[in-house]
Amino acid sequence: MVSRATKITSGDPAIAVLELAGIAAASTAAVGTAAYLALTRKRRELTREWVLPLHEALALPLRLPDQTDPRRYLHIPRNFSEDDAVIRVDVPGRLDFSKDLVVDIITTKLALEGVTFSWHLAGRETYVTVKKTRKPPAKAAFKDPKIREIVAAAKESAPVIGIGSAGRIVTSVSTPNPRTSSSTPPPAAASRSPCGASPARCSTTARSSSSTPSGSRTRGGWS
């Protein structure tokens, strides 16, 4: 009887498959449970360390009811301090609060720096989103096709001098001086020209922008 039972257990393919499937399912369940517990722990830490303190500071300025659940209106991701994170705070539609105070509280309690607040107060859903301000590029080279397009589209009276934060185009509006001859640029304008400080830079730029119309000082300022 023992040998027959052993033969049936070890030789039946269906039983072997079921045993392997059971082991795999148990392993998957164990991994899934561990991941869920880790995620739950991180959420509890986020709520304890950041969400609840922010709620306690905003409850009075926003005149929220005592039973308000902070998770219902404070949408703070775990990676809220990273560059691509978006924080959303739902605010009362009655709008009887100080936006400046709310901004100060959110910035202070979440230890945020270099962020932009966007208010959405029209309609039924009223909220504010907080995002990291996109920093300007470290270098804007004239050989970049996008930069060439921006410079080419600029007005002669407002030459492009750089790219600011969030891709904002920075221009220099030149105001003509009535006391100065039209053929002679004002001293201030001449001092702003980047060619005066670096002749080599101008010669390099001149070669790269040979198609630039005569008298365009904007393109001469890029490298």
Average pLDDT per consecutive 10 residues, the chain (223 residues; last block may be shorter): 49 66 62 61 90 96 94 93 92 94 96 93 94 73 76 78 68 53 44 44 41 42 51
Interatomic CA distance for residues 25 and 31, integer angstroms: 10
CB atoms within 10 A of CB 87: 21
- Per-residue confidence (pLDDT) for residue 62, from 0 to 100: 96
Can you give the three-state secondary structure of the chain, one letter per residue?
Answer: CHHHHHHHHHHCHHHHHHHHHHHHHHHHHHHHHHHHHHHHHHHHHHHHHHHHHHHHHHCCCCCCCCCCCHHHHEECCCCCCCCCCEEEEECCCCCCCCHHHHHHHHHHHCCCCCEEEEEECCCCCCEEEEEECCCCCCCCCCCCHHHHHHHHHCCCCCCEEEECHHHCEEECCCCCCCCCCCCCCCHHHHHHCCCCCCHHHHHHHHHHCCCCCCCCCCHHHCC
Report the pLDDT value the prediction gives residue 197, as an integer from 0 to 100. 43
- pTM, entire model: 0.49
Phi, psi values for residue 162, rounded to 5°: 170, 175
Q: Are strands 115-120 and 160-163 parallel, antiparallel or unpaired?
A: unpaired
Q: Report domain extents, the chain.
A: 13-132
pLDDT of residue 151: 81
For 46-64, give one letter per residue: b (16+ CB within 10 A) or e. bbeebbeebbebbeeebeb
39's tokens:
């995620």
Instruction: Give pLDDT, residue 202.
Output: 41
What is residue 209's predicted lDDT score, i.e. its pLDDT?
Answer: 41
Please tell me the predicted confidence (pLDDT) of residue 12.
67
- Percent of the chain scored above 70 by pLDDT? 53
Cβ neighbours around 151 below 10 Å, total: 21
